[in-house]
Chain A
Amino acid sequence: MIRTARKKVTRTAARPKARVLVLVGTRKGAWLYHGDPARRTWRVDGPHFLGHIVNHVMLDPRDGRTLLAAAKTGHLGPTVFRSTDMGRHWKEAARPPAFPKVVEGAPSKPRGRVVDHTFWLTPGHPSEADVWYAGTAPQGLFRSEDGGVTWAPLASVNEDPRYREWMGSEQDGTPDGPKLHSILIDPRDPSHLYFAMSSGGVHESRDGGQTWATLIKGMQVVEGFDPAVLTFHDPHCVRLCPSNPDRLYQQNHCGIYRLDRPGDEWERVGRKMPKRVGDVGFPMVVHPRDADRLWVFPMDGTSVWPRTSPDGLPAVYTSRNGGKTWQRLADGLPQQQAWWTVKRQAMTADAQDPVGIYFGTTSGELWTSRDEGHRWGRIAQHLPEIYAVEAATLVE
Chain B
Amino acid sequence: MQVLIPTPLRSYTNEQRLVEADGATLAEMLMDLERRYPGIRFRMINEQDRMRPHIRFFVNRDQVFDLAHALRPGDEIFIVQALSGG
Contacts and interface: CB of A to CB of B under 8 A. Distances in A.
Interface string B41-65: 0111111111011110000000000
Contacts of B55: 75-76
Interface in A67-82: 73-77, 79
B39 A74 contact: no
B43 A74 contact: no
B39 A79 contact: yes
B52 A77 contact: yes
Interface residues of B, number: 22
B46 A114 contact: yes
Contact of B47 (A51, A92, A99): A99
Interface in B1-54: 8-9, 38-39, 42-50, 52-54
Interface string A110-121: 011111000000
A101 interface: yes
A101 B44 CA distance: 16
Contacts of B42: 77, 79, 96, 98
A86 interface: no
Contacts of A111: 48
A223 interface: no
B47 A76 contact: no
Nearest to A111: B48
Contacts of A75: 8, 52-55, 81-83
Interface of B: 8-9, 38-39, 42-50, 52-55, 81-85
24 contacts: A73-B8, A74-B54, A74-B84, A75-B52, A75-B54, A75-B81, A76-B8, A76-B9, A76-B43, A76-B44, A76-B55, A77-B45, A77-B52, A94-B39, A98-B42, A99-B47, A101-B48, A101-B49, A102-B48, A104-B48, A111-B48, A112-B48, A113-B48, A115-B46
